[in-house]
């Protein structure tokens, strides 16, 4: 005949006495993993936000320079004259080692004019040049004028 052994409350408490410690260790490990992933995600998000801010600043800077160039008389827009253009203080302070490149090429079709290409690149936090931001525009000789 089999005897069914009854568990007394004391026996049950002895069997459970080590579980709280194990549960706390597992909870600590899970918390450490979650915090590590969270901090890496936070760092990546911050880096992407900084990159987007720099890219937006570069685009705005190029748009402002292009606006000043296209507001000039057609005859004064040439490669030598535009090489003296400089970046704003805001751009030079936020974009590390920023380099502005301006290129003016004559175009003959559909009408005589000039293609103005601006390019701006800078170094990121890893001291590596990022892909440049570019902006291109065309200006045409006034009607009845000579290019």
Please report, for the chain, the start and end positions of each structural domain, with discontinuous segments joined by +: 9-140
Residue 64's pLDDT is 94
How high is the pLDDT of residue 2?
61
Q: How far apart are CA 146 and CA 73, in angstroms?
A: 12
Averaged pLDDT for residues 121-129: 90
- Give the range among 5-14, 81-90, 108-117, 119-128 with minimum mean pLDDT: 5-14
DSSP string, 70-91: HTS-GGG--HHHHTT----HHH
Q: Rounded distance, CA 90 to CA 95, Å?
A: 8
- What whole-number distance in Å separates Cα of residue 91 and Cα of residue 89? 5
Residue of 33, 63, 37, 42 whose CA lies nearest to 133: 63
Q: Is 1 helix (H, G, I), strand (E, B) or coil?
A: coil
The residue with tokens 């006034």 is 142
CB 113 within 8 A of CB 141: yes
Q: Is the pLDDT of residue 146 over 70?
A: no
User: Is 90 exceeded by the pLDDT of residue 147?
Assistant: no
Examine the pLDDT at 101 and tell me if it is beyond 80: yes
Residues of the chain with pLDDT > 90: what percent? 58
Residue 71: CB partners within 8 Å, gap ≥ 6?
A: none
pLDDT for the residue numbered 16: 60
Cβ atoms of 100 and 85 closer than 8 Å:
yes
Give the integer Cα–Cα distance in Å for 31 and 11: 32
């Amino acid at each position: 005949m089999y005897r069914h052994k009854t568990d007394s409350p004391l026996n049950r408490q002895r069997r459970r006495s080590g579980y709280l410690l194990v549960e706390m260790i597992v909870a600590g490990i899970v918390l450490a993993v979650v915090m590590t992933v969270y901090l890496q995600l936070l760092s990546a998000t911050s880096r992407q936000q900084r990159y987007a801010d720099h890219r937006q600043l570069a685009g705005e800077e190029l748009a402002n320079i292009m606006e000043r160039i296209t507001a000039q008389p057609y005859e004064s827009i040439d490669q030598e004259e535009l090489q003296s253009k400089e970046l704003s203080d805001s751009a030079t302070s936020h974009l590390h080692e920023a380099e502005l490149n301006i290129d003016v090429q004559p175009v003959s079709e559909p009408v005589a004019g000039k293609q103005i290409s601006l390019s701006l690149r800078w170094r990121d936090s890893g001291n590596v040049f990022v892909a440049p931001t570019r902006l291109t525009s065309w200006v045409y000789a006034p009607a009845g004028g000579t290019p």
